[in-house]
Amino acid sequence: MLFFTQCFGAVLDLIHLRFQHYKAKRVFSAAGQLVCVVNPTHSLKYAPTRCAAAQTSTEQGILPPCHYHEAVHDSQLVPCTCPLFSCPWEGHLEVVVSHLRQTHRINILQGAEIVFLATDMHLPAPMDWIIMHSCLGHQFLLVLRKQEKHEGHPQFFATMMLIGTPTQADNFTYRLELNRNQRRLKWEATPRSVLECVDSVISDGDCLVLNTSLAQLFSDNGSLAIGIAITTSKVQNTEAEM
């Protein structure tokens, strides 16, 4: 009976996931967009965050782990950029993607425009939804976080981070779009580099921020669909220099 119960629960979870994916494909297939269904994950590194530790280290005169120089080649190593874990891994920037995929099992989706479908938005904070997006020859990390900045008032924060240097990040523009029930909300900005701290970006509010009421307006049965588009501004920068 225990074996049957466990198997039956797994089948129900699979049916639920397939149903969510089918609904998303039905809504967005007309636009030719790829849909990635992302389940929430509890973060294991909220207390204290690496950025909080960085502030303490700075006061003590120690180089903070969330601050890096632009040069990241040769002998310089960077720590794990996964927002979910206080991972002790260090490596070159070029192998960060392999580490995220192999060690932390973060999915990667390819395409110029995709739809990030976050499920179970009703779960209590803190909660993260994370994927990698491969586009224009680079990899980006999309982080959606449900977090309480004030007790009893959870908010949703969505940001895009380039797995590259800040100089490389300046060559791109990302757009996050919510569209439901004749309502549309867009956020457009330059992605930040993963060499910066995701926690700092969210704390500063330099990202798409939704309160609970606004998130419910755009959600469908507890799922929130976010359209993602990435463009390059390299050509525009070249024209400006000319």
CA distance 233 to 175: 13
Low-confidence ranges of the chain (pLDDT < 70): 1-33, 44-75, 234-242
pLDDT of residue 123: 93
Looking at residue 51, its pLDDT comes to 44
**pLDDT tens profile 172-193:** 999 999 999 899 999 999 999 9
The confidence score (pLDDT) of residue 8 equals 54
pLDDT digits (tens, 9 = 90+) for 27-70: 444 344 678 889 898 876 654 444 444 443 333 333 334 443 34
Alpha helices in 149-193 (DSSP H): 166-169
Name all domains of the chain by residue range, CATH numbers in brackets. Answer: 27-42+82-232 (2.60.210.10)
Query: Would the pTM of this model clear 0.85, i.e. be above it?
Result: no
Residue 40 preceded by cis peptide, ω within 30: no
Predicted pLDDT at 176: 97
The CA-atom distances, in angstroms, between 75 and each of 47, 71, 78, 90, 195 are 31, 10, 10, 11, 16
> How much is the pLDDT for 47?
43
